[in-house]
Structure 1
Amino acid sequence: MNDYQSQNVADYPNDNTYFLVWSFKPNVDIAKIFKRICALIANINNSALDRFPDSSSSCILGISYSAWLKLDLLKPLPKELKPFSEIKGAKHTAPATVGDLHFHIRSDRKSYAYDISAIISDFLGAYAECIVEVHGFRYWDGRSILGFVDGTENPHGNDRAYFSVIGDTDPVYRGGSYLFVQKYVHNMNAWKSLSVKEQENVIGRSKDNDIEMDDDVKPSNSHIALANIGDDFKIVRDNMPFGNTATNEMGTYFLAYASTFSTIEKMLENMFIGNPPGNYDRILDFSTAKTGTLFFVPSLDMLDSFSS
C-alpha cells in the first residue's frame, strides 16, 4: 500500500494503556525538546522490541494542528489536519479541547506503560503541561464499563492498515495516520437503572453474546446504527475503559486511527447531530464527552527526520 513504515497504529488493543495529552508552555524552546522527543519515541519502541518482544509494547506520538504550526513542521500540512471544531446537536455536544502532543502508550506489562509515561514526563516537564492523563485497562473480554464488548466493528488483518494508514491520496504523508481522541464519562447510576433489554436497544447488540441486532429490529438511534457508516468507511478504534471507584468517575477513552479524518467526523455528526438531525445516538444520554482533539501521527521515517 505504501513504502513508508507507520507507527504502531494498526496493532490490537492490549491490557494496559496510558493516554497522555501535553500542551506546550509559553516562551520555551519547544523545537529542541521536540527533536529529543521524536528520537526518544524511536528509542522506546526499538528497546521494547528487544526487551519485551511478546508484550505488545509501543508508544505512538501524535501532533496537533496547533503544535504543527508552533514547531514550523512541513508545509503544506497533511490534507485533513485542522483544529477540531465542536459538533453541537440539539441535546449533546462533542467539545473541542486543546492539546499539542498525544502519547498512546500500551503494553501487556503495566510496569512498562508506567515507566514510559514517567520517562516522557521527565523529558517534557519543564517545557509542557500534561493536561490529560488516563490509565486504561482491559475489562474482561474487551468490554467497556457499560458491560458491552467494545470495538466489534473494527477491521481485522490487512484491513486494519488499509483503513488506518494514509496511502497515495496524500503522498508526502504516506504511512501517517489521523488520530482523534475523546474522554467520555459515563453516568453509571442512570445506565444501571435500565433493564438489560433497554441497554441492548441503546447499543444495538446483545449484551451477553455480542450479537448485532437485525436491521429491522435495531433502533435507528442505537449506537451501532449511527456510529457505523458503511463497510467502505471504517476506522481502527483502540478504546479503553478507565475508572476511579472512589470518585465514581467511570468512562471510556475513545481513540481512533484513520486514513481520513472525514470518516471520523461523519461518525461524530451522526452521533451528536443525528441521522436524520435529531435522531442522535442514545448512548450520549449516558456518556458525556469531556474532550475532543485531532492529532496527526507521522510515519516512522518522518519522525526520524524530525529528530535530526
Structure 2
Amino acid sequence: MKAAAYASQNVTDYPNNNTIFAIWKFKEVPGIPAAFERLCGLVDNLNHSFTIRVPSGRASCVMGIGHDAWVQLGLPSPLPKELKPFEAITGAKHTAVTTPADLHFHLRGPDMAVCFDMLIAITEVLAPVADCLEEIHGFRYWDGRSILGFVDGTENPVGAERQQFAIVGDEDPAFKGGSYLFVQKYLHQMEAWTRLPVEEQEKVIGRYKLSDIEMTDAVKPGNSHSALASLEDEQGNELKIVRDNMPFGNPSKKEIGTYFIAYANTFSTTRRMLERMFIGVPAGNYDRILDFSTAITGSLFFVPTMDLLGQYSAGDAS
C-alpha cells in the first residue's frame, strides 16, 4: 500500500545517538532508472521495518535528490521552486564550496547496527550504477555537543515549529510535504581551537561553554556564530531551519569535524544564513567559527514525500 498523499519523509525527528550520512553520484551506465525504482521501494521498506523492529528507537531512512539527478530520472516538472545546483558562496576569506551529488541518505538509529544494515541494503541497489562520494559515521557526543565542546543545535525549532520550518507548505503546492536538504562536511582545526582560552572560545560561539546560555547582545561579539546564524524576515519574525548536525572523526588521521545538515521549507532561508556566515554583516564581518572550521563539501537536495516515492517504486521492492 502506498503512503498517503503529503506523507513527509521523517525529516523532523530529533537526532539519534548514531547516524550515517551517505552521498552518491550516478555513473554513466545503463540501469539507473530501474535501480532508482528499487530504491524508492527500499526506502519505504526500511522505514516500516525498523519502526516495527526498533519501536522506541526512532530509526529512519531519509533520501534526498539533487537537481541533476531529478532531471536525469525524469521526476515531476516543473521542479521544486528552489531546487538547483548549489552555487558557492565566496567571502573575503572563506568559501562555502559546492560539490557534486545526486542522492543523499540520512540514516538514524539508536545504535550503529541499524544504520549499518540500512546502508548495506542501499549499497546493494546503488553500487552497480553509482559511486559513494561520502560516507560519514556520526555519533552523539556527550550531552549533544560538537567536538568543539559547545552544545550544537540549541536554537533548533522544537515541537510543532519543526514542521513549520522544515516542511514545504502551500507556497509550492505540487511539492507540499517535501523539504529542502542542504549539507556540508566541516573539518575542525582542533590544535588552533584548543589553544584558545575558554573565554575566547565563548566569544567565537556567542554562548557560555558549560551552561550553554547565550550571551547578551551587549556582550556577544557581532562576528560570533550565534549572532550571524540568527535570521529574521522583514516583519521581524525569526526564521529557522531544522539542523541534525552530528560530530564525526578519525583522530589518528587528525580528521575531526561536524556534518552540517539542514532541513527547511525553503532553501533561501538556509542560503541567507550561509551568506551571513561566509560573507558577513556587514561584508567582511564573517562568522569567526570559520577560522577554525573549513567546509569541504556543499550540496543541495530535495526530499520528496513518501507519496511521490511510492509513484516510482518498483513493485518487487515495496
Does the TM-score normalized on the shorter chain lie above 0.5? yes
Measure the CA separation in 2 of the matches of 1:157 and 1:210.
20
Tell me the alpha carbon deviations over residues 129-172 of structure 1, each in whole angstroms, 9 at most, x when there is no partner: 00011000000000000000000000000000110000111001
Match of 2:246 in 1: 240
Runs of 4+ aligned residues of structure 1 deviating over 2 Å after TM superposition are none
Shift of 1:302: 0.9
Deviates most, 8-17 or 27-36: 27-36
1:77 CA displacement: 0.1
- Which of 187, 212, 215 is matched with 1:213 structurally? 215
Q: Which of 282, 294, 298 in structure 2 is aligned with 1:292?
A: 298
Helix, strand or coil: the match of 2:47?
A: helix
Q: Who is 1:23 aligned against?
A: 25
Counterpart residue identity of residue 78, structure 2? P
Q: Pick from 199, 206, 217: which aligns with 2:201?
A: 199
1:276 and 1:304 map into 2 onto residues whose CA distance is 46
Gaps of 5+ in 1: none
Shift of 1:3: 6.2
Stretch deviating more after TM superposition (2-11 or 287-296): 2-11
Unaligned residue ranges in structure 2 (runs of 5+): none
Shift of 1:232: 2.9
Other structure's SS at 1:161 match: helix
Question: Equivalent residue of 2:231, what SS?
Answer: coil
Identity %: 59
Q: Distance in 2 between matches of 1:106 and 1:209?
A: 27
Q: Deviations over 1:7-36 (max 9, x none)?
A: 000000110000000000112221110010
When normalised by structure 1's length, the TM-score is: 0.98
**What is the aligned partner in structure 1 of residue 263 from structure 2?**
257
Q: State yes or no: 1:92 paired with 2:94.
A: yes
Query: Quick check: 1:115 aligned with 2:117?
Result: yes
Corresponding residue SS for 2:62: strand
Distance in 1 of aligned mates of 2:149 and 2:241: 22
1:279 aligns with one of 271, 282, 285: 285
1-structure distance, mates of 2:294, 2:224:
16
Distance in 2 between residues matched to 1:116 and 1:43, nearest whole Å: 10
Deviations 1:243-297 (A, max 9, x none): 1011010000000000000000000000000011000000000000000000000
- Name the SS of the counterpart of 1:302 in structure 2: helix
Quote the residue 1:302 is aligned against: 308
Judge conservation of contact 2:65–2:301 (CA < 8 Å) in 1: yes
Aligned to 1:205, what secondary structure does the other structure show?
coil
- The residue that corresponds to 1:176 in the other structure is 178
1:175-231 CA distances to partner (integer Å, 9 max, x unpaired)? 000000000000000000100000000000000000000011100000000011135
Counterpart for residue 10 of structure 1: 12
Please say if residues 23 and 133 of structure 2, whose CA atoms lie closer than 8 Å, have aligned partners that are also in contact: yes
Aligned to 2:309, the other structure's residue is in SS state helix
What residue in structure 1 maps to residue 55 of structure 2? 53
User: Pairwise CA RMSD of aligned residues?
Assistant: 1.0
Distance (Å, rounded) in 2 between the aligned partners of 1:3 and 1:60 = 17
Q: Tell me the matched-pair count.
A: 307
1:142 alignment partner AA? G
Matched residue type, 2:25: S
**Aligned residues of 2:64 and 2:104 also touching (Cα < 8 A):** yes
What SS class does the counterpart of residue 178 from structure 1 fall into?
Answer: strand
Question: What secondary structure, in the 3-state scheme, does the structure 2 residue paired with 1:246 have?
Answer: helix
Distance in 2 (CA, whole Å) between partners of 1:4 and 1:101 is 21
Residue type of the alignment partner of 1:53: P
**Contact 2:5/2:307 (<8 A) preserved:** no
Look up the equivalent residue of 1:103 and give its one-letter code.
F
How far did 1:109 drift?
1.8
Q: 2:139 maps to what in 1?
A: 137
- Report SS of the residue matched to 1:104: strand
What is the alpha-carbon distance in structure 1 between the residues aligned to residue 30 and residue 144 of structure 2?
41
Match of 1:225 in 2: 227
The TM-score, its normalising length taken from structure 2, stands at 0.95
Alpha-carbon contact 2:168-2:179 (below 8 Å) kept: yes
Judge which range, 195-204 or 224-233, deviates more.
Answer: 224-233
* 2:148 equivalent in structure 1: 146
Q: Which residue of 2 aligns with 1:157?
A: 159
Q: Distance in 2 between matches of 1:304 and 1:215?
A: 48
| Matches of 1:295 and 1:278, distance apart in 2 | 29
